[in-house]
Amino acid sequence: MMCKDFRRPGIGASMRTLGRMRMAGMVISTLIALCSLSCGRGHPVVEIALHPTNPQILYIATNDYIYKTRDGGKTWQNISQGMTHSRVIALAIDPLFPANVYAGTKGDGVFRSYNGGQTWVAKRTGMADVTISSVVHQLVFVPGSSDHLFAATSMGVFETENAGDTWIKRMEGMKEVLMVVTLDVDPRQITTMYAGTSGGMYKTIDRARHWIKVNHGLIPPEVLKSSRALGITRVKVDPHRLNAVYAASLMGLYKTTDGAQTWQRIGQDLPDQMFSDLVLDRSTPDVLYVSSRKGVHKSSDGGHTWQAANAGLGNLNIRALAMNPVDSQVLYAGTNGDGLYRSHDGGHTWEPVPLVLNRNHETRGSTILNRNGGVEDIAKTVGRNCLCPEGMQRLTGHGQTDGLRRVG
């Protein structure tokens, strides 16, 4: 006896539709879970680079990718296409032709973009024998040039005069050290430079052809002898005071007013002496900012007195500081696990800058599929500022991440 099929016409299609809806729901639930987990875990912002004339454009580097915004941080684009998986440690924007952007990596030399980060080309000729173990800590343009740069690396100082096509090592006189962490060029005399190294400070007056050690008052002899001198994290030449230079280190903050013949320690009352970054105000003399594991501190008198500038920061462990070249009241701070923050009032108050992926650049007509890895990239975060799709908002409650909802 044949069994009769009593199902109504079209019920098979309805069941298939229901199955697809359930599958879509599972995908969305997976997205929510991934974004929720990532938002709780967080990622550090290790570098910030600001456009020299357009305050709406900035770049940041995390432990995973490089991101760019063209609208002042409302939306972001992952611009790491074409690069290796090496971490980006340093970013530099050509001050004359800002479409030229350089990225220094951990173990893969230097990359250059000719189009604002849309594509990248390796520029490591001359670094090839040291890139495997080398970290490019900083890239510095010589004022007035788009082709002349210096790189501070864990294998020494490198110079290019042809926009990175070839690099030449410049370490004459640095016999006791190898690692160079930071560089700065004197804007009044571009042949004068300072280099913060694993053995203190060095200075050149002939464009890095010869270096001389200038440690007097900077690194105590007992520290040098005990091999604990590693730690100059940032050096900055004062744009307002002749022969004035500031140096931040892992063991204190220093200043010279005589071109590094002698150094004086400043900021000894600051709550943390392990400094990660240093910024000088280019428009107002004697104003400077430092960052550490205790947040941001500001001085308005050349480092004699300091005030905490942490209101609004969700994480006081600061990895990077940057000042807007157009408006010195606008600052950015990259935290070690809570994303990017911005101040519009010289550090008095801070606000989070959520890293929302720009749908137009990062998806193909969907907030789910991403051309750089799909769900994983959309779920990436920088701290509590969730890197979720544009048009979606993270829900929170009782200190936990509960999911996403559509907004707008």
What does the pLDDT profile of the chain (408 residues) look like in tens digits?
444 443 444 545 544 544 444 544 443 343 333 333 333 335 689 999 999 999 999 999 999 899 999 999 999 999 998 887 779 999 999 999 999 999 999 988 999 999 999 999 999 899 866 655 689 999 999 999 999 999 999 999 999 999 999 999 999 999 878 789 999 999 999 999 999 998 889 999 999 999 999 999 887 666 655 545 558 999 999 999 999 999 999 999 999 999 999 999 999 999 999 999 999 999 999 999 999 999 999 999 999 999 999 999 999 999 999 999 999 999 999 999 899 999 999 999 999 999 888 755 543 332 322 333 333 333 343 344 444 444 444 443 333 333 343 433
Is 393 strand, coil or helix? strand
298 Cβ contact partners less than 8 Å away, ≥ 6 residues apart? 287, 288, 289, 306, 307, 309, 346, 347
- Amino acid identity, residue 228? R
**Torsion, Cα of 315, 83, 86, 89 (10° steps):** -50
Strand, coil or helix: 32: helix
pLDDT reported for residue 31: 37
What residue type is 380 in one-letter code? K
Residue 38: strand, helix, or coil: helix
Name every residue whose Cβ is closer than 8 Å to that of residue 235 and which is 6 or more positions away in sequence: 182, 183, 184, 194, 195, 196, 201, 245, 246, 247, 248, 278
C-beta separation of 328 from 48 below 8 A? no
Positive or negative, the Cα torsion across 227, 230, 231, 236?
positive
Place of tokens 């032709």: 97
Closest CA to 192 of 158, 249, 142: 142
